[in-house]
Structure 1
Amino acid sequence: MQIAIVLFDGFTALDAIGPYEVLKRLPSTTLHFVAERRKIIHTSDGLVAMAVTETLADVPRPDVVVMPGGPATRELMSNEALIEWVRRAHESSAWTTSVCTGSLILAKAGVLSGLEATGHWMWLEPLREAGANPSSKRVIVQGKVITSAGVSSGIDMALALAARISGEDVAKAIQLAIEYDPEPPFDCGSPEKAGTEIVELCRRRAAAAKPKVPFDPDRFAREWAEQWNRRDVDAVLSHFASNVRFTSPRAKELMGHATVDGIEELGAYFRKGAPLLGTMRFVVDETIWDAARRTLTIIYDRHRDGGIQRACEIMRFDSQGLVREADALYGA
């Protein structure tokens, strides 16, 4: 059985890790963390980083889809590539599931149309607007669709799913293995139990929070150079937007024009050029980050056969943290 847990920048860690800890223990199971591209994905606070193990294209027909949520879910609803993947994956899946605001993505893909569904209690009205019939239940099973409420409920959802896949005894054994026997110090895990004062405090804290995935230009440049040095073209491409525009004098030599448009043409250019680098290694000398313009300049040396060529790349990032424009310049 193939299980795909979707990752995206700005997800909530437990939304993905809770189900992972349960589902990885199912027999005869292969589990993947999937996203549009292989890259490092950060949680909403930027403190947890996870590696994508497969792209969406690599896993088009998983048996189980797990869609986590997080503060970035609203923006994710406009990601047509992901929405289409969810839509198509659901057509052939045995189970399609969500945690927290991940149900909004399922709804956007049409999976929840007319179905009773749940999600984080603060986001039930948007769930209604997206076509579902929202409920405050912790876990809801509707045919092959299972939705769960906020964050921690993903563990409950995964155990319910485990029982349906492998039987109650296996699910119970998994629950014991992870020692899931919660005894919270406060009985306020739902709005109904928490009371008006705590609900309002929670809302104020959520409104004041500013989810942020911090950008480290030095780390980015270091990873970019390391990826080129091992000729990992797919990893390099993971930094670029699908509509990227890349200009380089080398492109004119290899592609017939100095500017390449779109990720497909950029990939073709990189794959033509990579073998020609031979033993060349990139060594980053300096980075200049202009936060206001979201522009990174990487100044680096290209070492080959005892010689050094000075070079730089100027990259402009979009709101999703991907490079939308880039210019490569080379010294003599």
Structure 2
Amino acid sequence: MEIETLDRRAILALGGALLAAGAAMPSLAEDKALPTEARGLPPDAPKAAMLVYPKMVPLDLIGPLTIFNLARFDVRLVWKDKTPVVTSNGLSIAATETFDECPADLDVLFVPGGIAGTVACMNDPMVLGFLADRGARAKWVTGVCTGTLVLAAAGLLKGYDATSHWAVADMLPLMGARHVDHRVVRDRNRMTGGGVTAGIDFGLTLVAEIKGEEVARTAQLTVEYAPAPPFANGTPAEAGPERAAAMRRSRKPIDDQARAAAERIGKTLDVPG
């Protein structure tokens, strides 16, 4: 009992010391506010703004974010404010910069997916206005999964080839994009990826374009990206018509909301009916 008591005291003391040390360390948001060089990044590090929003799918963000960090991009997580947003799986993520704080000129503008949050963003003038403004000047306009619907809603994919999650990809033409059924699609300075896990493929492809293939290869090796899924079930063609139809039925209420938004936005973008 005496040993257990001492252990508990030691643990409590260690915890207090760690908390005190943590209080003296800058938060992620504070660190991101430092000049690029102060964070150990080269002055010419590509500036990437990655949208975070309520009900987004964290993996849509985390996959590309990991690759960008390995390639030494200057990554900024952006939203209306810095209050943590609750994602689709309950994980909270806080923006490091607000829309107003985000640089006007970016190397990369990126939007992740998450259908419930996507629909909300498609119907949010403030979000669409921010994306349209930054996207008009960004060197690369990018997104994965249903996040590409948000890009399209902001008018950033009109006249471009693009892809999205397979269940909603047919909505892209409603907003003027041309759907191409590939895992990663590049058209000029637009690059889009399919559903969720395609974000890693997208991230590696974009890094190769911006910083060279060797940097991308190093990042791929670092994360040991050598996918070998246990089932051939990752696309509708692999899963078969019955499984694909069952998933479409389960998604129908929220996908119908996305379609309604896409049809409404298509009219404002003068997309032929």
Band of TM-score, shorter chain: 0.7 to 0.9
Structure 1 SS opposite 2:192: strand
Q: Percent identity?
A: 34
Q: How does 1:58-77 map to 2 (within 5 A)?
A: 58-59=101-102, 60-71=104-115, 72-77=117-122
Report the CA distance between 1:149 and its aligned residue: 0.6
Larger radius of gyration: 1
Report the CA distance between 1:207 and its aligned residue: 4.5
C-alpha deviations, 1:251-285, integer Å up to 9, x for none?
xxxxxxxxxxxxxxxxxxxxxxxxxxxxxxxxxxx
C-alpha deviations, 1:189-239, integer Å up to 9, x for none?
111221111212322443589xxxxxxxxxxxxxxxxxxxxxxxxxxxxxx
Structure 2 residue aligned with 1:196:
241
- Over the aligned positions, Cα root-mean-square deviation in angstroms equals 1.5
Structure 2 SS opposite 1:10: coil
Q: How does 1:279-298 map to 2 (within 5 A)?
A: none
Specify which of 42, 47, 62 is matched with residue 86 of structure 2.
Answer: 42
Specify which of 22, 26, 29 is matched with residue 71 of structure 2.
Answer: 26
Code of the residue aligned with 1:143 in structure 2: it is R
Q: TM-score, normalised by structure 1?
A: 0.60
Specify which of 107, 122, 125 is matched with residue 152 of structure 2.
Answer: 107
Q: TM-score, normalised by structure 2?
A: 0.73
Q: How does 1:222-237 map to 2 (within 5 A)?
A: none
Q: Does 1:88 align with 2:149?
A: no
C-alpha deviations, 1:75-106, integer Å up to 9, x for none?
21121111111111112211110010111111
Q: Does 1:145 align with 2:190?
A: yes
C-alpha deviations, 1:280-307, integer Å up to 9, x for none?
xxxxxxxxxxxxxxxxxxxxxxxxxxxx
Q: Does 1:8 align with 2:92?
A: no
Q: Which runs of 4+ in 1 moved over 3 A?
A: 204-209
Find the aligned partners of 2:93 and 2:163 in 1 and give their Cα distance: 26
Find the aligned partners of 1:195 and 1:74 in 2 and give their Cα distance: 27
Structure 2 residue aligned with 1:219:
none
Higher helix share: 2
Structure 2 residue aligned with 1:57:
100
Count residues with an aligned counterpart: 207
Structure 2 SS opposite 1:88: helix
Report the CA distance between 1:21 and its aligned residue: 0.7
Larger RCO: 1 or 2 (CA < 8 Å, sep 6+): 2
**5+ residue gaps in structure 1?**
210-332
Structure 2 residue aligned with 1:250:
none
Higher strand share: 1
Find the aligned partners of 1:204 and 1:107 in 2 and give their Cα distance: 24
